[in-house]
Chains A and B, each alone.
Chain A
Amino acid sequence: MPRKRRELYNKEICACSIFGAMNRDGERFTGAGVMSAIANMHVRGNGLGGGFAAYGIYPEYKDYYAFHLMFTGSNSDAKRSAKQDFDVFLCENFDVVYDEEIPHGDETAVSDPPLVWRYFVAPRKCGDEANLSDDDYVVMKVMHVNTKIENAYVFSSGKNMGCFKGVGYPEEIGEYFMLDRLYKAYTWTVHGRFPTNTQAWWGGAHPFSLLDTTVVHNGEISSYGTNRWYLEMYGYACTLQTDTEVIAYAADLLMRRQNLPIELVAKILAPPIWNSIDRMNEKERRLLTALRMVYAPLLMNGPFSIIIGQSGKMIGLTDRIRLRPLTAATRGSMFYLSSEEASIRLISPELDSVWTPNGGEPVVGKLNNMT
């Protein structure tokens, strides 16, 4: 009997560093600062993965979904062939307004880079699919590509934002994609990875994303199997051989599809313990009991700190007993999140406030002009 019929997924176990910087006035800045901040936490990673999410980088195409694609394969022919398969699918389902290879530096500076391409697209819905919202349509197609088209991975699919990631230290990946020179964003999040049990591959680096939601994650999700089956019931395919993607999908399910505010989503991902809930007033107790009852399979158990990026928002959250660190800070319109305070001080020596948020309590930065 063939072995692979059985579910043989792996999950990622990693320590990692995370960092986020947001200008709440919406002023855009290059990736130079976050690259040096994450480099300051070099020892938290092991060079097996680094990545960035940047918001506000494609103002000229802001109405189109920006797909970042990774085509893998043992040689350039294989990568090209994966791209051809994908292009056929893409043209059947989307109108492509512009596409190009994502500019990068010397390929020999990094290990085994895939072909990385970006497309700016608009959905072309036919038949029954016309009833889907654009976002639902895109999610469906992204899941299709990631499960059905071999060696092609959509790793970024939002509007006016993009992820950049790969195998290497984050500062090397930033340099490879020239993030300090080519892009300006109002929010940058970044991740340095220290995986211990998955093979290093470019798709396995953080951030993980769906539409404009991105997640960088420090931790290990002990509840992965439970989270995964629940998300699969809602049509999310977990394909990236790592546990972090479930957070991105959970955020999409709860925030976009179910329209829950981040404050409640945090109470689902990292709920207060029963002892605390039982002491609350009746109304709060009923709400939190209902959330835990209904969304029990989405509790992210195990140690984690994460930064969730969305258009106009940057959110920090740790597990409910804060087994992984997260420091938040502000300086004027700047809002920072980091695994360590020193990295924030490196790029902003003076700060208005610095604090370590309580476990399970989200810290949220929003664009000031957001409606």
Chain B
Amino acid sequence: MKSFVFPEFHIIRDEAKCGQCRGCERQCAFGTHTYDPVQDRLISDDYKCAGCQRCVVFCPKDAIEVRPTQSPYRQNASWTREKMEDLKKQAETGGVILTGCGNDKPFRIYWDHIVLNASQVTNPSIDPLREPMELRTFLGAKPDFMEIKSEGDDVQIETKLSPNLTVETPILFSAMSYGAISYNAFRSLATAACKSGTFFNTGEGGLPKEMREQFGKCAIVQVASGRFGIDAEYLNCAAAVEIKVGQGAKPGIGGHLPGEKVSGEVAATRMIPTGTDAISPAPHHDIYSIEDLSMLIYALKEATNYEKPVSVKIAAVHNFAAIASGIVRAGADIIAIDGLRGGTGAAPKVIRDNVGIPIELAISSLDGRLRKEGIRNRCSIIAAGGIRCSADVIKAIALGADAVYIGSAALIAMGCNLCQKCYTGKCNWGICTQDPRLAGRLNVDIASLRLSNLICAWSHEISEMLGGMGINALESLRGNRDHLRGVGLYEWELEVLGIKGAGE
């Protein structure tokens, strides 16, 4: 059937600069560029271009430019180009529109409507370059009281403390499974996490055996509805275990790793036959209630001898705060909440763009709910979904999060340009693919350095902002909403965020 869809990108090649090296042809897995020996020139097919900019960056002569095309349609605020073309694609295929990355619709980004405080006169701002500035954070349950037995100078802790993760900076890498992303990308995250004193999350694709000894200590291993790659060693080699209930990009939806992505190594790690589809059902079929969740939490605690915190990750949806409170009471040590803008390797676009609530509002309402119930100290909150910079991190913490997960930000650090074609498995940047030729493009040393640089830079910036507020330990900003003010927000939004308006 003839497709009526217009190309999204236009490729402009400067023929004077082009040396016909055919580098672009080799770089593009979508087959955009082809060499015509007759004309001795490269020909580009705009229809195939994903806009990932790989050929642009790697052209040795800087001869290529890839630009988004202008909409060919009459301007229409209701029938936007995206709506028109998605509809055409469905008419042509009868299929669900798939996409990757996070929600790109112009929902209000609250981070950009919140401003931070700084000290003037009465409280000296602290110079983080010279004075101690502490970002160390503990993730896990804390007791209400700490019983102490002291005889003279000898002090013994009587209370049995729950296991906690120690992070040197409140930024963790979000769950991205081996299978969804390449081995090199996965290993880069693990390497950078260990180097930066933080953690990476295996997602639901298991942890390759040869990585366990070296990287287990900085791994949060996920237990998701598909239960891929889970055995006792997997659970015990890790620092923490996370039960994945939901994901911000696709709340209520399962996952599906197509058989063609299930290579020998992916299959071995997931402990499934090579080439079979790896299906993660929408729910955990052993969790139909909060009691069932509690049962799984304690099963995992038993399996790990109560030595590791158990996290439960849920998508931020309408009544999630009440559910999260139940999850804390069910025994979770950490609640990870993933907001509306959370990323994914593949999700139906209609779900990605229409389900869930923004993470900023979610953090605030969850923190508030747990405080009100007097159980805020019984768990830590990790916020995910739409953290783009250090300012977002610090605002998340002031709203009440203990730490954040970053997914898209980490991918961008490695080279991703958010072309949203992750689900095709043809990622030219070697990140979201299992094609050995593509995956090999990502150098673990370089990618992990880019990631650890990012963590280092954000940590410095967080220290600067904290110091400016006259605070020298991150824990003193947690839930300290007095250091935030809203700009351009409605009354109900300020209310949900629990912050004053600027100038108040």
A adjacent to B, CB under 8 Å = yes
Residues A274 and B376 in contact, CB atoms below 8 Å apart: no
A352 CB-CB contact with B under 8 Å = no
B104 CB-CB contact with A under 8 Å = no
B90 CB-CB contact with A under 8 Å = no
Residues A303 and B500 in contact, CB atoms below 8 Å apart: no
Residues A287 and B155 in contact, CB atoms below 8 Å apart: yes
What distance in Å separates the Cβ of A280 from its nearest Cβ neighbour in chain B? Answer: 13
Interface centre among A224, A226, A261, A273 (most CB of B within 10 A): A226
Residues A225 and B483 in contact, CB atoms below 8 Å apart: yes
B residues less than 8 Å from A295 (CB atoms) = 146
Residues A220 and B470 in contact, CB atoms below 8 Å apart: yes
Bound complex: CA A310 to CA B241 (Å): 46
B481 CB-CB contact with A under 8 Å = yes
Residues B376 and A13 in contact, CB atoms below 8 Å apart: no
Main secondary structure of the interface of A (DSSP, over half): loop
Bound complex: CA A258 to CA B122 (Å): 33
What distance in Å separates the Cβ of A133 from its nearest Cβ neighbour in chain B? Answer: 16
Residues B142 and A294 in contact, CB atoms below 8 Å apart: yes
Closest B residue to A15 by beta carbon equals B122
A318 CB-CB contact with B under 8 Å = no
Residues A301 and B498 in contact, CB atoms below 8 Å apart: no
What distance in Å separates the Cβ of A282 from its nearest Cβ neighbour in chain B? Answer: 13
Main secondary structure of the interface of B (DSSP, over half): loop
B161 CB-CB contact with A under 8 Å = yes
Residues A9 and B155 in contact, CB atoms below 8 Å apart: no
Of the candidate stretches A58-66, A111-119, A171-179, A227-235, the one touching chain B is A227-235
Residues A229 and B376 in contact, CB atoms below 8 Å apart: yes
- From known contacts A230-B377, A294-B142, infer whether A1 and B504 are also in contact, taking CB-CB under 8 Å: no
Closest B residue to A253 by beta carbon equals B145
- Chain B contact residue count (CB 8 A cutoff): 46
Residues A226 and B477 in contact, CB atoms below 8 Å apart: yes
Residues B377 and A6 in contact, CB atoms below 8 Å apart: no
- From known contacts A222-B476, A225-B479, A260-B148, infer whether A1 and B132 are also in contact, taking CB-CB under 8 Å: no
Interface residues on A, range: 35 or more
Residues B476 and A223 in contact, CB atoms below 8 Å apart: yes
Partner of B478, one of A3, A264, A296: A296
A-contact 0/1 string along B134-151, CB 8 Å cutoff: 101010001101101010
Bound complex: CA A230 to CA B479 (Å): 9
Of the candidate stretches B245-253, B355-363, B487-495, the one touching chain A is B487-495
Partner of B473, one of A15, A275, A299: A299
What distance in Å separates the Cβ of A305 from its nearest Cβ neighbour in chain B? Answer: 13
B residues less than 8 Å from A275 (CB atoms) = 132
Partner of B470, one of A15, A303, A320: A303
Residues A301 and B143 in contact, CB atoms below 8 Å apart: no
Residues A302 and B374 in contact, CB atoms below 8 Å apart: no
Closest A residue to B496 by beta carbon equals A6
B371 CB-CB contact with A under 8 Å = yes
Residues A321 and B157 in contact, CB atoms below 8 Å apart: no
Closest B residue to A276 by beta carbon equals B132
B residues less than 8 Å from A11 (CB atoms) = 482
B237 CB-CB contact with A under 8 Å = no
Closest B residue to A5 by beta carbon equals B495
What distance in Å separates the Cβ of B259 from its nearest Cβ neighbour in chain A? Answer: 45
B123 CB-CB contact with A under 8 Å = yes
B480 CB-CB contact with A under 8 Å = yes
A residues less than 8 Å from B143 (CB atoms) = 294
Partner of B480, one of A225, A293, A294: A225
B-contact 0/1 string along A255-266, CB 8 Å cutoff: 000111100100
A residues less than 8 Å from B136 (CB atoms) = 274
A7 CB-CB contact with B under 8 Å = yes
Residues A303 and B146 in contact, CB atoms below 8 Å apart: no
B residues less than 8 Å from A230 (CB atoms) = 376-377
A residues less than 8 Å from B119 (CB atoms) = 222
B472 CB-CB contact with A under 8 Å = yes
B11 CB-CB contact with A under 8 Å = no
- From known contacts A264-B155, A303-B124, A303-B470, infer whether A297 and B475 are also in contact, taking CB-CB under 8 Å: yes
B residues less than 8 Å from A299 (CB atoms) = 473, 475-476
A residues less than 8 Å from B374 (CB atoms) = 233-234
Bound complex: CA A233 to CA B377 (Å): 9
B471 CB-CB contact with A under 8 Å = yes
A residues less than 8 Å from B498 (CB atoms) = 6-7
Residues A293 and B478 in contact, CB atoms below 8 Å apart: no
B36 CB-CB contact with A under 8 Å = no
Bound complex: CA A232 to CA B373 (Å): 10
Bound complex: CA A13 to CA B371 (Å): 26
A-contact 0/1 string along B81-94, CB 8 Å cutoff: 00000000000000
- From known contacts A3-B491, A229-B376, A295-B146, infer whether A222 and B471 are also in contact, taking CB-CB under 8 Å: yes
Bound complex: CA A288 to CA B500 (Å): 35
A291 CB-CB contact with B under 8 Å = yes
B residues less than 8 Å from A258 (CB atoms) = 145-146
B469 CB-CB contact with A under 8 Å = yes
Bound complex: CA A296 to CA B476 (Å): 7
B-contact 0/1 string along A285-313, CB 8 Å cutoff: 01100111111110101110000000000
B residues less than 8 Å from A219 (CB atoms) = 123
A126 CB-CB contact with B under 8 Å = no
A48 CB-CB contact with B under 8 Å = no
Instruction: Apart from A292-B475, A294-B161, list 12 A-B contacts with CB within 8 A.
Output: A1-B495, A7-B481, A9-B482, A220-B122, A223-B476, A226-B477, A226-B480, A233-B371, A233-B377, A275-B132, A290-B161, A303-B123
Give 18 A-B contacts (CB < 8 Å), ordered by A residue: A6-B500, A13-B122, A222-B123, A222-B480, A225-B479, A225-B483, A232-B371, A233-B376, A260-B146, A264-B148, A294-B159, A296-B138, A296-B142, A301-B470, A302-B123, A302-B476, A320-B472, A321-B132
Lowest 7 A-B CB distances belong to which pairs? A223-B476, A301-B476, A225-B480, A296-B475, A225-B482, A13-B122, A220-B123
